[in-house]
Structure 1
Amino acid sequence: MESSAKLTSVRLSPRKTRLVVDLVRGKVIQEALNTLRFLPQPSAKLVSKLLQSAVANAEQKGVSDVDALYVKTIYVDGGSVLKRFLPRAMGRASKIRKPTSHISVTLSDSK
């Protein structure tokens, strides 16, 4: 049985978040959470909470063995980009792009 969870419009760069997500793809859920616990990146904490949410969704669906779950798919899509301007010298302005991410995860109990 599969369960999924999504996290949308997170104020993290998709490029930086993909580096964290690639480390847990295909791992057993407990191993993935242990890996994320010791990563220094800010996105690791959010991905960890997302995995815990997907596990809770699996429990709600009635999965008997939660420890047998593994990360079937996990991916990061780019969200909307917040555009800001920074005043510069001589009346000019520089663009500041603040990207957002959409993170999706699917857990499964059979490989």
Structure 2
Amino acid sequence: MEVRAVARNIPVSPRKVRLILERLPGLTVDQALALLRYAPSPHARTVSKVVLSAAANAENNFNLNVDELVIKRAVADDGRRLKRYKARSRGRVSPIIKRSSHITIVLDRREG
């Protein structure tokens, strides 16, 4: 049974979060939290909150044992973009795009 947790509109570029998320599939919840705790990225804390939320969803909503769960899928999709403009010389402007991301963690039972 798949259990998921989603964090929406996190103010970080999806490209930066994907660098963290690509290491997670196949790990247990405890292994993923240990890896995220010592990851050099400041956004690893946000990802660990989503992993903990997915584990809590599995335990409370489906009565699953957290020790038997593995991360099946970890995805960062594009969220809303805030468009701002910065004044430049000669009366021109340059666009500034502030990106956000939707982080999805899917847990499943361990095979075997």
Give TM-score, length-normalised by structure 2: 0.92
1:77 Cα offset (Å): 0.8
Aligned position for 1:8: 8
Cα RMSD (Å): 1.1
Q: Which amino acid aligns with 1:55?
A: A
Distance 2:33 2:81 in 1: 29
Aligned position for 1:56: 56
Aligned position for 2:72: 72
Aligned position for 1:95: 95
Unaligned runs of 5+ in 1: none
**How many residues align structurally?**
110
Q: Which amino acid aligns with 2:63?
A: G
Distance 1:37 1:53 in 2: 16
Aligned position for 2:108: 108
Give TM-score, length-normalised by structure 1: 0.93
1:2 Cα offset (Å): 2.4
Secondary structure, aligned partner of 1:23 = coil
Q: Percent identity?
A: 41
Unaligned runs of 5+ in 2: none
1:87 Cα offset (Å): 1.1
Query: Could you give the per-residue CA deviations for residues 63-110 of structure 1, whole angstroms, max 9, x where no partner exists?
Result: 1x2112110111111112111001112211111011111111111113
Q: Which amino acid aligns with 1:62?
A: N
1:48 Cα offset (Å): 0.2
